[in-house]
Amino acid sequence: MESTYRRQLLLLLLLALALRVSAGWVWQSQLDGQRFGMGDSESYWSLGVAIAEGRPYEYEANHACVFRTPGYPLLLAPVFRLVGSGQVAVFLARAEAALLGVLAVAGVWWLTRLLFDDRAALIAAALATFYPGAIVLSVLVLSEAPFCPLMLLQLILWILAWKTPSAGQRAIFGSCAGLAAGAATLMRPSWLLFTPFAVVVGMLMSGRGKTPAGSSAKPCGAALRHLVIGLWMILGLTAAMLPWWIRNAEVTRCFVPTTLQVGASLYDGLNPAATGASNMDFVPRFSEEERRRPPKTSEAPSESFEQRLDRRLRAEALAWAWANPGRATQLAGIKLLRMWNIWPNEQRFSSWPIRLAVFFTYTPLLIFAIIGAWRTFGRGWPYRLCWLPAVYLTLLHMVFVSSIRYREPAMLAMLALAAGEIGARIKGKCTFSVPNP
């Protein structure tokens, strides 16, 4: 039976790879001479080429030194060293994304197996293999491809740290979870605050549900366990981010935790013309105004144009939101609906075949995941951790711009809960077989 199970899992992983490589080829063939089809891809590509060629880590003529975190460009750089940056490199980059997508499928399987049983884990792997949202993330030349397996790895290691009765293993798993969180943040900067956010939520909810299995000579309370694991994770997160922080301090003479695009991203979501979707057409206007504006006496002489523009856009966005709280609240609701819409928001993906395909593949899984989250709420922290990325990313994108693209990493974690519920219904009952930690 064990060998049969392994063959089934291997078959799913190979099928996941074939689907993603094929989807990448189809997507590339429909771009009519374009390289990517997504605007953000160009910046990752350019910075990856700069790394491969040993040039300064700057984007375009503006010499933006802290435009993107270096995680995804570092993954692209070996491709450029191997074949250059031509059309062949585009196909290899999509193949790399496909492999990362397979790792995400494996991550969903592992996460589900920790929470339920082998049957549910195999169901989860099958769901992740065929789920269109997961396939799309493995096709585009975007940072979501490496982010998703790293996010899942952090959740897995966090659960292992929570379940173990050993303080030493808790430190190892917790610090490794922090390293995974740091690596994920270097891919997607928006992930930086997830770890402290989830630790606080865990401590606030520590009086509910089951305590972790296993015991020690002097068992600590759930809140203290959350705090200890959280401190180890923060330590690992800091270790992973420290080289980037040091580099940013050297080039900007100040502490930049992620990038200097926070101001632009915030203004994208909060401005008089905001709709909830991304539209960065305002950047050239603000850039030109900032170049012509004489420096203020309060500004540091060494402050770069990139820093001034980031601060200007951040201040403009916050000032507008403060002056227009009703519209800002309305936009938050619009962004919430955009993120969890039952079909695509973008006009170019709004044909009825695409809408129906998204509706019939996404909606049932979301319903099963919600039911699974409700049924497992009292089972403790590991089950709650599966839906916390959805809460965190939703709150974040109710402030910044929103799209169904931003829900897909969270959906991968929620597939574990959906698979647990589906597996329970297949067995004809609503209780789960929870393996010993």
CB 209 within 8 A of CB 381: yes
CB 122 within 8 A of CB 11: no
CB 47 within 8 A of CB 70: yes
Cα(310)–Cα(290) distance, rounded to whole angstroms?
10
Q: What is the pLDDT of residue 435?
A: 44
Q: What is the pLDDT of residue 371?
A: 97
Cβ-Cβ contacts under 8 Å for 258 (sequence gap 6 or more): 69, 185, 189, 192
User: What does the chain come to in residues?
Assistant: 437
Closest CA to 191 of 159, 242, 231, 154: 154
**377 vs 191, 213, 373, 411, CA distance in Å?**
24, 16, 6, 17
For residue 59, the SS3 value is: strand
Cα(104)–Cα(148) distance, rounded to whole angstroms?
6
Q: What is the pLDDT of residue 39?
A: 79
Torsion angles phi and psi, residue 64, rounded to 5: -75, 105
Sign, CA torsion 157/158/161/164 = negative
Closest CA to 190 of 405, 413, 418: 405
- Per-residue DSSP letter, 107: H
**258 vs 68, 184, 273, CA distance in Å?**
8, 12, 26
Q: Could you give the residue ranges of the DSSP H alpha helices within 376-407?
A: 381-384, 388-397
Q: What is the pLDDT of residue 351?
A: 84
Q: How many CA atoms lie less than 13 Å away from 425 in the CB half-sphere?
A: 11
**11 vs 18, 28, 93, 103, 118, CA distance in Å?**
10, 26, 24, 14, 15
CA of residue 367 relative to chain centroid, distance: 21
Q: What is the pLDDT along the chain (437 residues), one digit of tens a residue?
A: 688 999 999 999 999 999 999 999 999 888 876 788 887 899 999 999 999 999 999 997 667 899 999 999 999 999 999 999 888 999 999 999 999 999 999 999 999 999 999 999 999 999 999 999 999 999 999 999 999 999 999 999 999 999 999 999 999 999 999 999 999 999 999 999 999 999 999 999 986 555 554 434 343 588 999 999 999 999 999 999 999 999 999 999 999 999 999 999 999 999 999 999 999 999 999 999 988 877 665 555 568 899 999 999 999 999 999 999 999 999 999 999 999 999 998 877 778 888 999 999 999 999 999 999 999 999 999 999 999 999 999 999 999 999 999 999 999 999 999 999 999 988 775 544 444 33
CB 98 within 8 A of CB 138: yes
Structure tokens at 165: 């009765």
Closest CA to 382 of 128, 212, 203: 212
Q: Which residues of 173-186 are buried (b: 16+ CB within 10 A; e: fewer)?
A: bbbbbbbbbbbbbb
Closest CA to 395 of 157, 206, 198: 198
Closest CA to 267 of 310, 238, 227, 302: 310
Closest CA to 161 of 182, 179, 148, 177: 177
- Angle at the Cα of 98 (from 93 to 102), degrees rounded to 5? 145
Sign, CA torsion 178/180/186/192 = negative
Q: What is the pLDDT of residue 191?
A: 98
For residue 64, the SS3 value is: strand
Q: What is the pLDDT of residue 85?
A: 84
